[in-house]
Every structure is written in structure tokens, then in C-alpha cells.
Amino acid sequence: MKRPPAIDPQTHALFLDFDGTLVELVDDPDSVALARDRVERLQEMTDRLSGALAIVSGRRISDLDRFLSPLSFAAAGVHGLERRVRPDGETEFLMAPDALDPVRNALAPTLEENQRLSLEDKGTALVLHFRTAPDLADVARGVMERATRDRDDLVVMEGDNIVEVHPAGMDKGRALADFMTSAPFEGRIPVYLGDDTTDEFALQTVMDMGGVAVKVGTKDSVAGYRLANVADVHHWLDVCGI
């Protein structure tokens, strides 16, 4: 396993996935927690990077703010459909939630019949969770496929025990590329850490930019570097040079 190199706070920009990278994956998405000293370390790194640290997540930015309080940080939420380019900036919403109303309606009967499935409604994305009901994985995939059939304006992605739909034209890689065109990220070398299938878009973008792409875990990846797990991520963040 090739470990990532040291980071220069003057020349690099750091992008971090949240679930599975900064915090462990859990059955209840609302039960995650990050220790106070870890939040303080992220704030220290943000300051040393002059604000060029962003959390890039499928979560809503409002949820990230709640989990990471009182950290002030840039963020791309819902795979980039929500943006906050500067730590002290306003959140921008790129899509309207009502585009997914027909999908919500199509999913409702299956959710009623299979109450071990749970729907996380992010407004601009819908996530079917089956971590606590792995036997319903095919049910979740099937109902999402049917609910989005003939909707070229939507994209369906699978992750760790989830199937998610959101408007097409956006992913973590595109969000990262957009961040790199604006201060405080512009002109820096991107570094990205992520564990999931959805992170591969960002990892490939970073590779194309000549940056440092770091896969967390053992899944196949385009990334050139690896960290073993969440604990390893935090150890590396402590020794990476920032």
C-alpha cells in the first residue's frame, strides 16, 4: 500500500470525504460523531491552508455543519449540488428539490411495504438505505430503477449499502474542479481522500490535475495512494505536514 506524501500548506488544497473517511460508516446516518480534538485539528489545518480545505460529501452542508460544529470550512454537499467555496461564505444551491417529486411518489409504496428500508431525503437527492436490511438490496435497486426510468435528467449511483438519485450533470469530481477555479483553491495542487464509489469521480479528477488521489480502504480505485481506514486517515492528517 503506497501511502500519500507530505502536504505543503502553501501549495496544496485538501479535499476530504466525510462518511467512511472522517467518520466510520454507521447504521443510522444521524448518529455519527467526530471527537472534539479531531474537529480542532481540522480547524488548525484549515487555518494553515488559508481556507483551502473542503469537505466533499453526499450529505447536505447543513448536516455537515451540525456534525463538525464549530468548524468553519468550505464544502460541497449532495455531491456538489450545494456549494460553499469559502469557509465564511454563503451556501449556493444549484438545483430545486421539486425535480424529484415524481421519484418520491414512485418510491412511497415500496417504502410502505418494506419498512426496513429507509429513505434519506436531502431535497436535491434521495438515498435509499439498506445497511440494516441487506436482503432488500435488490428491492432497493429495482424500485429506484423503475422510479427513474426515462428520466435522462437524473442519475442513479450506488454506494455502501445505498442507492441514490440526484439531478444529472453533477458529481464530486465536477464540484472539485469548480472549486479549483476560485480562491482560496485556485493555483494550488489538489489532494483528495475518499472511500466510496462516488469518490472515484473526484479521485480521477485529481489524477488528471496532477494532484494526490488517496483511496481509503481496500476497494478498487484509480487513486495512486492508499490509507487503510478512518483511524489511518486521522493518523495521516496528524503527520502530513500541515
Q: Which CATH number do you get for residue 131?
A: 3.30.70.1020
Helices (H), 89-217: 101-113, 137-147, 172-179, 200-208
- 163 with 120, same domain: the answer is yes
Residues 17, 19, 63, 196: which is the catalytic one?
17
- 86 with 16, same domain: the answer is yes
- 28 with 90, same domain: the answer is yes
- 155 with 193, same domain: the answer is no
Range of the domain at 51: 12-94+170-239
Q: Is the dihedral of CA 79, 200, 192, 195 positive or negative?
A: positive
Domain boundary among 120, 140, 167: 167
Count of domains observed in the chain = 2
b/e per residue, 77-90, with b = 16+ CB within 10 A?
Answer: bbbbbbbbbbbeee
pLDDT tens series, the chain, 242 aa: 699 999 999 999 999 999 999 999 888 888 898 999 999 999 999 999 999 999 999 999 999 999 999 999 999 999 899 999 999 999 998 877 888 999 999 999 999 999 999 999 988 889 999 989 999 999 999 999 999 998 988 999 898 899 999 888 789 999 999 999 999 999 999 999 999 998 999 999 999 999 999 999 999 999 999 999 999 999 999 999 99
- Compute the distance between CA of residue 52 and CA of residue 71 in angstroms, rounded to an integer: 14
Q: Confirm whether 121 is a catalytic residue.
A: no
C-alpha distances out from residue 89 to 40, 198, 232, 233, Å: 20, 25, 31, 27
Residue 62, in any domain of the structure:
yes
- 157 with 227, same domain: the answer is no
Is pTM beyond 0.85 here?
Answer: no
- 42 with 160, same domain: the answer is no
Domain boundary among 138, 167, 196: 167
Task: Give CB contacts under 8 A, 24+ apart, made by 102-106.
Answer: 102/147, 102/151, 103/147, 103/148, 103/151, 103/154, 103/165, 106/143, 106/146, 106/147
- 180 with 119, same domain: the answer is no
- 215 with 163, same domain: the answer is no
C-alpha distances out from residue 129 to 29, 133, 140, Å: 9, 8, 8
